[in-house]
Structure 1
Amino acid sequence: MNESKEFLKEYDDSKYKKPSATVDMIILTAVDVETKARSVPDKVLRVLLIKRKGDPLVVDITDPYKGKWALPGGFVNYYEDLDAAAIRELREETNISDVYMEQLYTWGKVYRDLRRRVISTSYMALVDSSKLNIKAGDDAEDACWFDVKITLLEEVKTQIKAGYIRKTTYELSLVNSENEIKDTVIVTKKLEGRTSKIDLEYVNNPSGLAFDHATIIFYALERLKNKVEYTDIAFSLMPEMFTLTELKKLYEVITGKVIYSRNFRDKMEKQKKMVIETDEWESGKPYKPARLFRFNPDWVEDQ
């Protein structure tokens, strides 16, 4: 103990530059969108964004992201846990509290924030937006939901001596009734021998999202797409009672794939046993009512 005290007494931490720490929250929800009359509505994924205060047309070298849309988030206080900072920032900027957030990834590229060296930890939450009262606060000028979609633009594969380099370009589209934002994300996979490396980068777009938030949203959506195949994460976006068609449409919008109804029913009811059939039926719908199901709380991943 005495040795530790002596060491700390003589220790000079000024010789190391100190990066700042931030948290960024990806809050996702799923809502119905009407398509054709007398048919089950499709689903769309939405992400919550905040608009940073300031005029984006006024150049400010101290904050080049003024007036831009971004994920809710902010700096971690010196004596504050990461989880506590995420909860506080989300509440201060959007008025959301009491939601479960899962730590997603840590982002540490050197110039991800042009103001200073910033390392950010991202969190993801799946919520029922109808139960939330979104209200901008703190340093946010506005807070609202955006429909979010990923579109494949181009894929280029180059052979190298012991493998290949594949660059895949995606468009991240964020749209609501008043705004449309488009960003480009490039995923580079390098396979050399038995070693593979994947890197995400965004193409700087003056009218796009602030910071590197396009890559954070892209990563979250890809993570969700993978997890929905082997976990019960999708049920966080469903009501307590639902039809299999409604659940299938959610899986389709998350995975970006068309799913055949019979295969999906077998997967949910027989193979995975993720749902339980109830004795209740839909009512008040303009189409043929369907039986209602609920999530099986006894389901486990290795079934």
Structure 2
Amino acid sequence: MDDRLKRSVGVELSLVTVDLVILTIREGEATVLLVERGAEPFKGRAALPGGRVRSDETLGEGALRELREETDIDGTRLHLEQLGAYGDPGRDPRGRVVTIAYLALGPDLPVPKGGTDAAHAYWAPVAELLASPDTLAFDHARVLDDALERVRERLEYTTVAAAFCPEPFTLGDLREVYEVLWGRSLDASNFRRKVTRSEGFVVDTGEQRPQATGRPAVLYRRGPARLLSPPFLRPGTV
């Protein structure tokens, strides 16, 4: 569509991009995958991986391709879901750009590799980034904040916490996910009771892991359930 036709029909074309919030837990901290932008705008600034959606691909396909190109991570092995759309005027100095954000979760993911327009990729603590939101390019601090709250809510009503745990895992490993993401300590006995009574949340593998002290810990894998009944409400919520 040329400029004359756009003016005649009153159409303003928008660019559609995808951005990815890839969260994992490393060394007891919630961390997110960032790239250092290798091109303008915001050259040299930290940003979420992402880019333009091609005309011949779906949004999901674009998200997986950008993840692979910018970080060399295979997104098909992650829990991947659409987070939301961000299209405020001025969010991108290049013009009206609408981005579709995706949330990806995985267990202790490897050190990524940069590529294409990303100078390099690395993991960064979520808490530090949200404490200094101007660190991130575009409106990515807002996207990250929304993603963290989405995960916290998902922990209450779904079994997604297990997506952070390399299999097989112990209930202590699983409890750490809740404690890190909610920022609260949980009673171990009460947590064990809730998990084991929630049908299909975890499956006993029949194996054990030796512990430095005490009895060996039972090893589990993720069960078939995707919803928790009853839900695990965050401490202090009703």
- TM-score computed with the length of structure 2 as normaliser: 0.84
1:128 aligns with 2:107: yes
Match of 1:52 in 2: 37
The one-letter code sitting in structure 2 at the alignment partner of 1:233 is V
Partner of 2:44: 67
Verify the 8 A CA contact 2:37 2:43 in the aligned structure 1.
Answer: yes
Q: Tell whether the 8 Å contact from 1:267 to 1:273 is kept in structure 2 after alignment.
A: no
- Structure 1: 4+ residue segments shifted above 6 A: none
Letter paired with 2:12: K
Identity across the alignment (%)? 37
Contact 1:46 1:148 in 2 (8 A): yes
The answer (yes or no) to whether the contact 2:158–2:228 under 8 Å persists in 1 is no
Aligned ranges for residues 106-121 of structure 1 at < 5 Å? Answer: 106-121=85-100
For the pair 1:25 / 2:20, whether they are aligned, the reply is yes
Partner of 2:153: 226
**Aligned to 1:240, which of 167, 170, 173?**
167
Instruction: Report if aligned partners of 2:108, 2:164 keep a CA contact under 8 Å in 1.
Output: no
In structure 1, how many angstroms separate the alpha carbons of the residues matched to 2:204 and 2:53? 46
Letter in 2 for 1:49: L
Q: Is the 8 A contact 1:281 1:290 kept in 2?
A: yes
Structure 1 length as normaliser, TM-score?
0.67
Higher RCO (CA < 8 A, seq sep 6+):
2
**How far off its partner does 1:263 sit?**
1.5
Distance 1:300 1:222 in 2: 19
**Partner of residue 66, structure 2:** 89
- Structure 2 residue identity aligned to 1:103: Q
Q: Distance in 2 between matches of 1:79 and 1:120?
A: 17
Report if the CA contact (8 A) 1:108-1:118 is conserved: yes
Judge conservation of contact 1:128–1:237 (CA < 8 Å) in 2: yes
Q: How many residues align?
A: 221
The structure with more helix, counted as a fraction of residues? 2
- Matches of 2:201 and 2:142, distance apart in 1: 32
Structure 1 residue 302 displacement after superposition: 5.9
Structure 1: unaligned runs, 5 residues or longer: 1-11, 34-42, 55-62, 151-170, 174-181, 184-204
Bigger fraction of residues in strand: 1
CA RMSD of aligned residues (A): 2.2
2:226 and 2:141 map into 1 onto residues whose CA distance is 33
The aligned residue for residue 172 of structure 1 is 130
What is the aligned counterpart of 1:16 among 7, 11, 20? 11
Give the alignment partner of residue 176 of structure 2, picking from 234, 237, 249: 249
Q: Which runs of 5+ in 2 are unaligned?
A: 230-238
Question: Which residue, 225, 231, 234 being the options, matches 1:299?
Answer: 225
